[in-house]
A and B are shown apart, each in its own frame.
Chain A
Amino acid sequence: GEDVEQSLFLSVREGDSSVINCTYTDSSSTYLYWYKQEPGAGLQLLTYIFSNMDMKQDQRLTVLLNKKDKHLSLRIADTQTGDSAIYFCAEAPGSGGYQKVTFGTGTKLQVIP
């Protein structure tokens, strides 16, 4: 089946940039997402990118997609303490609906003041 992998933990200092990486295996992935989960809460969609895009920028967030290497990254500029959370990447094929969304293992981002 599909597999989405992330490193488990990332620690950065406040004000620095954070880069969270993700690799996936399904070559039919059409949608690639980044979700944020704060402690004890559900997931919040941060941004998503279509597989025909290389980059998407939204304020402090920049998503880079290397489709050849099946590598997705999320860069958070000027990281703040409020960015501390678990970040999940996820992918979904073009068909099959939302139930086919596969989530990564999550990266816990710790921001040091």
Chain B
Amino acid sequence: GAVVSQHPSRVICKSGTSVKIECRSLDFQATTMFWYRQFPKQSLMLMATSNEGSKATYEQGVEKDKFLINHASLTLSTLTVTSAHPEDSSFYICSAPQRGVAGELFFGEGSRLTVL
């Protein structure tokens, strides 16, 4: 089946630094990718929709200057958490739909961000 890979799987950084998380579709092209945030024991919250070749669409309440999204190619979307603070610590997951596969989203393995 289709594979979506995220990197890094785990990152620890100091407060005030920026962290980039990559999401790649390995065997299919994805014009759209989704970024979610998952808090402990909670569901996934959609943060933004990443669109290849155009600006990302952010959900209400998500700071676009804080969470920069770039979708430069049909197989890569990046999420950069800028000037990270401890409250940004979370599990970030990306997903991508595969064209022609009805109703299925393929998820990355997730990236655990810890901001000290």
- Residue positions of A touching B, CB distance < 8 A: 4, 8, 31, 33, 35, 40-45, 48, 50, 88, 92, 97-99, 101, 103-106
**Looking at chain B's contact residues, is the secondary structure mostly helix, strand, loop, or mixed?**
strand
- Residue positions of B touching A, CB distance < 8 A: 4, 6, 9, 32, 34, 41-44, 46, 49, 57, 93, 95, 97, 102-110, 112
The 10 closest A-B pairs by CB, nearest first: A42-B107, A43-B107, A31-B103, A103-B43, A42-B110, A48-B103, A98-B97, A103-B44, A42-B109, A105-B43
Within 8 Å CB of A101, what residues of B? 46, 105
Within 8 Å CB of A33, what residues of B? 103
Decide if B97 touches A44 in the complex (CB within 8 Å): no
Can you list 20 pairs linking A and B with CB atoms under 8 Å apart?
A8-B41, A31-B102, A33-B103, A42-B93, A42-B95, A43-B93, A44-B107, A45-B106, A48-B103, A88-B44, A92-B103, A97-B32, A98-B34, A98-B95, A98-B97, A99-B34, A99-B46, A99-B49, A101-B46, A104-B43
Within 8 Å CB of A35, what residues of B? 107
Closest to A101 in B: B105
Measured in the bound complex, the distance between the Cα atoms of B40 and A106 in whole Å is 11
Within 8 Å CB of A43, what residues of B? 44, 93, 95, 105, 107
Measured in the bound complex, the distance between the Cα atoms of B61 and A23 in whole Å is 26
Q: How far is the CB of B111 from chain A (nearest CB, A)?
A: 10
Q: How far is the CB of A30 from chain B (nearest CB, A)?
A: 9
Known: A43-B105, A97-B32, A105-B43. 18 other contacts (CB 8 A): A31-B103, A33-B103, A40-B110, A42-B107, A42-B108, A43-B93, A43-B95, A43-B107, A44-B107, A45-B106, A50-B103, A88-B43, A88-B44, A92-B103, A98-B95, A98-B105, A99-B32, A99-B46
**CB within 8 A of A40: which of B34, B107, B112?**
B112
Closest to A48 in B: B103
